[in-house]
Amino acid sequence: MINLEERISEKKSFFNRLIIVYIFFAGLFLYFLYKTFLLQISSYTDYEIASLENKTREVLLQPRRGVIYDRNGNILVNNVPSFNLIINPSSIENIDDHLNEINQIINLTEDEENYAKENFSRLAKLNRELVLKKNLSTEERSRFKVRKYKFPNTFIDQRYSRENLYPFLFSHSLGYTGSPEESDIEEIFLNQNLKPKEMIFSYSNGYLIGKTGLEYTYDDFIRGRFGKKIFEVDASGKFLNELRVVDAINGKDLFTSLDLESQKVAYEQLNRRRGAVVAVDINTGAIVTYLSSPSFSVNKIANGMTQKEFKLLINDDDKPFFDRAAQGRYSPASTIKPAIALFGIENNIIDWDFTLDDPGYFILPEDGRIYRGWKKGGHGNINLNDAIIESSNTFFFSLAYKSEIEDLTKHLSNFGFGEIVCLDCFLPDSGLLPNPSWKMNNLNFGWFKGDTVNLGVGQGYMSATPIQLAYYASFLANKGELNKFSFVQDNDNKEVKKNIFLSNNIDENDWLKLHESMIGVIENSKGTAGRLRALKDYTIAAKSGTVELVSTETKEDYKIIREIEGQRDHAIIIAFGPMPNPKYAVSVVIENGESGGSVAGPVAIEVLNALLKK
């Protein structure tokens, strides 16, 4: 036992120690309270959001892509619903076995099987669906339905596929759609204020974006906005009930300026020959016909194509994917002559009364080099009008010889050469308008006078795309006043280029005379495109050209080189009509077609006929 004194000190010690422990725990209690305060009051908003995100899932609702129309309201591209057989590659182990099992119920073609095998592992990695077969019949659907339990990772669902009603007609102008890349989706989502988190959880399959052509350039416009369904979910991710729906906003329909009828005519006329046709409404700059040939089926590209088919297209010597209309570079050849003529008049080098003796060649005074015309013996004593009608090279060699190259290129750039002339074309090329500094930088050679002389007949380094040639033709037709080109007539964003041309030295009279001589190209008995006269019953102005790929001295030499098709001259023509008040301008290039007047010419006339309903 302990005595009283000790008892008192013991009580005191106990007292102190218990208080110490309580104070220690009181401190912990306060710290806990502080932590709770931080959670519930200071960071309340963060945690409220976290709890909200925890319990909701947003499933995206896809907008319907806008329909694309031609200028008369004909549907060109539409969305077609179809019932598709779809698998989830990421949860299927062996695609071969799976296909075999499916094949016992729904017959897959060899192409469909190949497509599935080729894309299986890629889509599995991306966690995207794989469409095995499209457009299932009612019978196929019901056959699958009763055996569905055997295939937990396979289902039938409705998907919209993008269908171009004229898949070969508008391959390059409208382009095609395809599955978006991860980065595309990210950008679109960012644009539409959707969070990447939603992307991971509920990226809806089957979404398409434009890859080329107008589908690409107007993707923003025809894409629409995603809607969403917001579900309450539990911790296991099970959907409990629908909280809210934000409807998707369908894409706007695109009314293009394209004209289905003339496009059909252009396609038939080119008949898979290599070349391009571009026609425009000169008053608005609206492109009405746009064909690059040969073409390919955009539907096949957009909706699944086996590698074999794709390789065939890629390796085709005619290069069907290449958009010749916007990217093909061709020498303008003799079609450049009206522009050179205007340069001569503008700079007082010549006038309409000026004459020149054409012996069939031009000798460059500096080095005595001979530049030949196309006609042996020449065109005799000719003025500017004759020179255009008969396409005298000598006349324009001589005129170019008298020109300053810097002035000449500046002049030509007004016609759209070396420039981007189209507002909404897909990856247009600007061609090449050469000048001395370009030559020095790229070829490491100084500019020769002979280069300027060659430019006078559109040969040499200069090149232009068919769309630039069409722009040039419209420019001539409209007497130097023109909008930039566009596929959409009432495009609000159109950069209007009222280019009142050149200088006071060119007046209305000059324009009329120029038009007159270009009419003569067809109507005059000496015209280079006289054969076109019979194809129409109204007046058309034109200028043909023949692009020399291999330089030859004589017709006999040419006969030798033309044995190889790829060495034959390109046929080229620009035309506009009906005169005297032209509405449409057209350019046609046919690769290795040899004669601008008689090969490219008929195509141009038929397209104009279709446009003018004659």
Measured from the Cβ of residue 286, the count of other Cβ atoms closer than 10 Å reads 23
Minimum CB distance to other proteins smaller for 15 or for 538? 15
Minimum CB distance to other proteins smaller for 28 or for 534? 28
Binding test (CB under 8 A) with other proteins, winner from 4, 44, 60, 228 = 44
Would you say 397 and 456 are in contact if contact means Cβ atoms under 8 Å apart? Answer: yes
When asked if residue 244 is in the footprint of other proteins (CB under 8 A), the reply is no
When asked if residue 17 is in the footprint of other proteins (CB under 8 A), the reply is yes
Binding test (CB under 8 A) with other proteins, winner from 101, 182, 234, 351 = 234
Binding test (CB under 8 A) with other proteins, winner from 91, 97, 240, 557 = 240
Distance between CA atoms of 425 and 416, rounded to whole angstroms?
A: 15
Rounded to the nearest whole angstrom, what is the least distance from the CB of residue 232 to other proteins in the complex?
A: 7
Binding test (CB under 8 A) with other proteins, winner from 4, 146, 200, 235 = 235
Binding test (CB under 8 A) with other proteins, winner from 4, 28, 200, 534 = 28
Binding test (CB under 8 A) with other proteins, winner from 13, 121, 142, 307 = 13
When asked if residue 141 is in the footprint of other proteins (CB under 8 A), the reply is no
Rounded to the nearest whole angstrom, what is the least distance from the CB of residue 15 to other proteins in the complex?
A: 6
Distance between CA atoms of 610 and 262, rounded to whole angstroms?
A: 5
Rounded to the nearest whole angstrom, what is the least distance from the CB of residue 186 to other proteins in the complex?
A: 23
Rounded to the nearest whole angstrom, what is the least distance from the CB of residue 18 to other proteins in the complex?
A: 5
When asked if residue 230 is in the footprint of other proteins (CB under 8 A), the reply is no
Minimum CB distance to other proteins smaller for 16 or for 107? 16
Distance between CA atoms of 243 and 144, rounded to whole angstroms?
A: 33
Would you say 601 and 524 are in contact if contact means Cβ atoms under 8 Å apart? Answer: no
When asked if residue 10 is in the footprint of other proteins (CB under 8 A), the reply is yes
Region from 6-14, 307-315, 391-399, 556-564 binding other proteins, contact rule CB under 8 A? 6-14
Q: Tokens for 570, please give them.
A: 């390109």
Would you say 426 and 326 are in contact if contact means Cβ atoms under 8 Å apart? Answer: yes
Minimum CB distance to other proteins smaller for 40 or for 72? 40
Would you say 222 and 254 are in contact if contact means Cβ atoms under 8 Å apart? Answer: yes
Q: How does DSSP assign 408-442, residue by residue?
A: HHHHHHTTTTTS--BSS-SS----B---HHHHHHH
When asked if residue 4 is in the footprint of other proteins (CB under 8 A), the reply is no
Binding test (CB under 8 A) with other proteins, winner from 186, 220, 232, 346 = 232
Rounded to the nearest whole angstrom, what is the least distance from the CB of residue 41 to other proteins in the complex?
A: 6
Rounded to the nearest whole angstrom, what is the least distance from the CB of residue 42 to other proteins in the complex?
A: 9
When asked if residue 1 is in the footprint of other proteins (CB under 8 A), the reply is yes
When asked if residue 7 is in the footprint of other proteins (CB under 8 A), the reply is yes
When asked if residue 51 is in the footprint of other proteins (CB under 8 A), the reply is yes
Measured from the Cβ of residue 11, the count of other Cβ atoms closer than 10 Å reads 10
Distance between CA atoms of 518 and 279, rounded to whole angstroms?
A: 18
Q: Tokens for 67, please give them.
A: 């329909």
Rounded to the nearest whole angstrom, what is the least distance from the CB of residue 30 to other proteins in the complex?
A: 11
Binding test (CB under 8 A) with other proteins, winner from 185, 233, 249, 349 = 233
Q: At what angle do helices 307-314 and 110-126 cross, to 10 degrees?
A: 100
Task: Please choose, from the candidates 579, 574, 571, the residue with its C-alpha nearest in 3D space to the C-alpha of residue 598.
Answer: 571
Minimum CB distance to other proteins smaller for 11 or for 272? 11
Minimum CB distance to other proteins smaller for 2 or for 534? 2
When asked if residue 46 is in the footprint of other proteins (CB under 8 A), the reply is yes
When asked if residue 43 is in the footprint of other proteins (CB under 8 A), the reply is yes
When asked if residue 50 is in the footprint of other proteins (CB under 8 A), the reply is yes
Question: What is the CA 329 to chain-centroid distance, rounded?
Answer: 16
Is 334 one of the annotated active-site residues of the chain? yes
- 382: β partners: 356
Rounded to the nearest whole angstrom, what is the least distance from the CB of residue 320 to other proteins in the complex?
A: 50
When asked if residue 242 is in the footprint of other proteins (CB under 8 A), the reply is no
Residue 407: its H or E element: helix 405-413
Rounded to the nearest whole angstrom, what is the least distance from the CB of residue 32 to other proteins in the complex?
A: 5
Rounded to the nearest whole angstrom, what is the least distance from the CB of residue 36 to other proteins in the complex?
A: 6
Of 292, 297, 331, 334, which one is the catalytic site residue?
334
Q: How does DSSP assign 46-97, residue by residue?
A: HHHHHHHHHHEEEEEEPPPPPPEE-TTS-EEEEEEEEEEEEE-GGG-S-HHH
How far does the chain reach from its first CA to its final CA, in angstroms?
A: 132
Rounded to the nearest whole angstrom, what is the least distance from the CB of residue 58 to other proteins in the complex?
A: 16
Burial label, 408 (beta-carbon count in 10 A; 0-12, 13-18, 19+): buried
Distance between CA atoms of 97 and 93, rounded to whole angstroms?
A: 9
Number of residues that bind other proteins (CB under 8 A): 42
Region from 231-239, 288-296, 322-330, 588-596 binding other proteins, contact rule CB under 8 A? 231-239
Distance between CA atoms of 232 and 197, rounded to whole angstroms?
A: 16
Would you say 272 and 292 are in contact if contact means Cβ atoms under 8 Å apart? Answer: no
Minimum CB distance to other proteins smaller for 42 or for 109? 42
Minimum CB distance to other proteins smaller for 19 or for 512? 19
When asked if residue 239 is in the footprint of other proteins (CB under 8 A), the reply is no
Please, what sign has the CA dihedral across residues 386, 391, 394, 399? positive
Q: Which residues of 351-371 are buried (b: 16+ CB within 10 A; e: fewer)?
A: eeeeebebebebebeeeeeeb
Region from 38-46, 117-125, 288-296, 501-509 binding other proteins, contact rule CB under 8 A? 38-46
> What CA–CA distances, in Å, run from 590 to 207, 332, 375, 597?
38, 12, 22, 11
- 244: β partners: 230
When asked if residue 29 is in the footprint of other proteins (CB under 8 A), the reply is yes
Interface ranges with other proteins (CB under 8 A): 1-2, 6-7, 9-11, 13-15, 17-18, 21-22, 25, 28-29, 31-33, 35-37, 39-41, 43-44, 46-48, 50-52, 54-55, 232-236, 240
Q: Which residues does the annotation mark as catalytic?
A: 334
